[in-house]
Amino acid sequence: DAKTTQPTSMDCAEGRAANLPCNHSTISGNEYVYWYRQIHSQGPQYIIHGLKNNETNEMASLIITEDRKSSTLILPHATLRDTAVYYCIVRLRTNTGNQFYFGTGTSLTVIP
Amino acid sequence: EAGVTQFPSHSVIEKGQTVTLRCDPISGHDNLYWYRRVMGKEIKFLLHFVKESKQDESGMPNNRFLAERTGGTYSTLKVQPAELEDSGVYFCASSRWDRPYGYTFGSGTRLTVV
């Protein structure tokens, strides 16, 4: 019952843009897309989130397709410290609060 | 400020034993969440506390799992009796308000049931 699907792994050259895709074809109209990343032995860390518009912050950009069935996380200039597992997440808002539905994650390796 | 602290970081127990995991949220964070990743699967929601109250426990897998947050500070997650399929990494997160971009996750407790 996975709500998101991601490639298992990707490589990116240092200094180049890393583009991480995510499919969420069953997303509902009020469900947000979140991206977190997990660097080895640490907990997941927030990167960015969005509903339907593209978003940008100091860490990354999030491009969401018009039909909202997929999105791409862009790290504009990848560094070695960006090597991590990146999780694409759908946030379900219920009457009692928020629940995250994590994908299996993409292991990004930034290569010198 | 100190982050979310979880301990132990690792625990190895035998099937049938009891294990208690602890999470200390960031001071002042009323919202506390438990998630877990069992081997080969996605990270999944277990439950959500607001202060000492269970706001949502729909993700708790069965009655072998008991979560508490006495006094609205730290939380414990007890597994009794532990089964092999309970092996995985248990994450705790906290936030001041129930806004997911404000979640701070701990480093997790890796539980191995043998």
The residue behind tokens 């640490």 is A42
Q: Could you give the C-alpha distances from A98 to A71, A111, B26, B100, in angstroms and in order?
A: 21, 36, 19, 7
Transcribe A36-85 into DSSP letters.
EEE-TTS--EEEEEESSS-EE-SS-EEEE-TTSSEEEEEESS--GGG-EE
Distance CA(A13)–CA(B48), nearest Å, equals: 39
How many CA atoms does the CB half-sphere of A42 hold within 13 Å?
A: 14
In this prediction, residue B100 has a pLDDT band, given cuts at 50, 70 and 90, of low
pLDDT category at B99 given cuts 50, 70, 90 is: confident
Is A45 exposed, middle or buried (CB count within 10 Å of its CB: 0-12, 13-18, 19+)? middle
Mutant choice from A98, A101, A102, A106 vs B, greatest count of B C-beta within 10 A: A98
For an interface test with A, give the residue of B44, B51, B101, B107 to mutate (most A CBs within 10 A). B101
Tell me the C-alpha distance between A50 and A67, whole Å.
14
The rounded mean pLDDT for chain B is: 93
pLDDT at A83 over 70: yes
- Give the one of B42, B93, B100 whose C-beta lies nearest to A91's C-beta: B100
Tell whether the model's pLDDT for residue A96 goes beyond 90.
no
